[in-house]
Amino acid sequence: MTPLSIAFLPLTDSAVLIAAREKGFTETQGIDLTLVRTTSWATLRDRLVYRQVEAAHMLAPLAIAVTLGLSQHPARLAAPFKLSVNGNALAMSTTFAAALDPDPVSRINDPLAAAHDFAAAIGLHHRKPIVGVVHRFSSHALMLRYWLAYAGIDPDRDLSLRVLPPSLMTEALRAGEIDGFIAGEPWSSVAVADGLAEIVAVGTRIWRRGVEKVLGFRADWMEDNPELVDRLLVALSQAAEWCDANREELAEILARPEYVGQPVERLMPALSGRLILRPGDAALDFPDFMLFHREATAFPWRSQALWIYSQLVRWGEVEPSEAAERAAADVFRSDIYRRALAEAAQPMPGASMKLEGALSTPTAVGAHHGTLTLGPDHFFDDRIFDPGAIDRYLASFSQK
Partner 1 sequence: MRIVIIDDSGLRATVLEEGLREAGYDDIHVVPPQSGFVARLERMAPDVVLMDLGNPSRDTLEEMLAVSRALARPIAMFVDQSDEAMIGAAIDAGISAYVVDGLRKERVKPIIDLAIRRFNAFARMQTELDEAKTALAERKTIDRAKAILMNSRNLTEADAYALLRSTAMNQNRRIVDVAEALITASSLLGGKA
Interface residue list for partner 1 (CB under 8 A): 39-43, 46-47, 50-52, 71-73, 134-136, 162-165, 167-168, 172, 175, 177
Question: Of 106, 102, 83, which Cα lies nearest the Cα of 94?
Answer: 102
Residue 164 CB, shortest distance to partner 1, in Å, is: 6
Q: Which is nearer to partner 1, 260 or 374 (CB)?
A: 260
Residue 254 CB, shortest distance to partner 1, in Å, is: 18
Q: Which is nearer to partner 1, 101 or 177 (CB)?
A: 177
Q: What is the 3-state secondary structure (H, E, C) of 19-56?
A: HHHHCCHHHHCCEEEEEEECCCHHHHHHHHHCCCCCEE
Question: Of 247, 242, 264, 268, which Cα lies nearest the Cα of 255?
Answer: 264
Determine the Cα–Cα distance for residues 63 and 54; give it in Å rounded to an integer: 14
Q: Measure the CA angle with vertex 349, ends 346 and 354; round to 5°.
A: 150
Residue 172 CB, shortest distance to partner 1, in Å, is: 7
Q: Which is nearer to partner 1, 259 or 385 (CB)?
A: 259
Q: Which residues contact 125 (CB under 8 A, 6 or more apart)?
A: 95, 96, 99, 179
Q: Which is nearer to partner 1, 46 or 386 (CB)?
A: 46
* Beta carbons of 137 and 385 less than 8 angstroms apart: no
Per the document, the length of the chain is 400
Helix (H) or strand (E) holding 163: strand 160-163
Residue 50 CB, shortest distance to partner 1, in Å, is: 5
Residue 362 CB, shortest distance to partner 1, in Å, is: 37
Question: Of 262, 265, 225, which Cα lies nearest the Cα of 274?
Answer: 265
Residue 40 CB, shortest distance to partner 1, in Å, is: 4
Q: Which is nearer to partner 1, 136 or 209 (CB)?
A: 136
Q: Which is nearer to partner 1, 155 or 300 (CB)?
A: 155
Q: Which is nearer to partner 1, 46 or 244 (CB)?
A: 46
Question: Of 230, 68, 80, 197, which Cα lies nearest the Cα of 136?
Answer: 68
Q: Which is nearer to partner 1, 95 or 160 (CB)?
A: 160
Q: Which is nearer to partner 1, 1 or 163 (CB)?
A: 163
* CA–CA distances in Å: residue 261 to residues 252, 253, 267: 10, 9, 10
Q: Which is nearer to partner 1, 62 or 236 (CB)?
A: 62
Q: Which amino acid is at 138?
A: S
CA-CA-CA-CA torsion sign (146, 148, 153, 158): negative
Residue 42 CB, shortest distance to partner 1, in Å, is: 4
Residue 317 CB, shortest distance to partner 1, in Å, is: 10
Residue 187 CB, shortest distance to partner 1, in Å, is: 12
Residue 192 CB, shortest distance to partner 1, in Å, is: 22
Residue 38 CB, shortest distance to partner 1, in Å, is: 8
Determine the Cα–Cα distance for residues 334 and 348; give it in Å rounded to an integer: 10
Q: Which is nearer to partner 1, 2 or 167 (CB)?
A: 167
Determine the Cα–Cα distance for residues 32 and 343; give it in Å rounded to an integer: 23
Which one-letter DSSP state was computed for residue 15? H
Q: What are the b/e assignments for 95-127, b being 16+ CB within 10 Å?
A: ebbebbbeebeebbebbeebbbbbeebbeeeee
Q: What is the 3-state secondary structure (H, E, C) of 208-257?
A: CCCECEEEEEEHHHHHHCHHHHHHHHHHHHHHHHHHHHCHHHHHHHHCCC
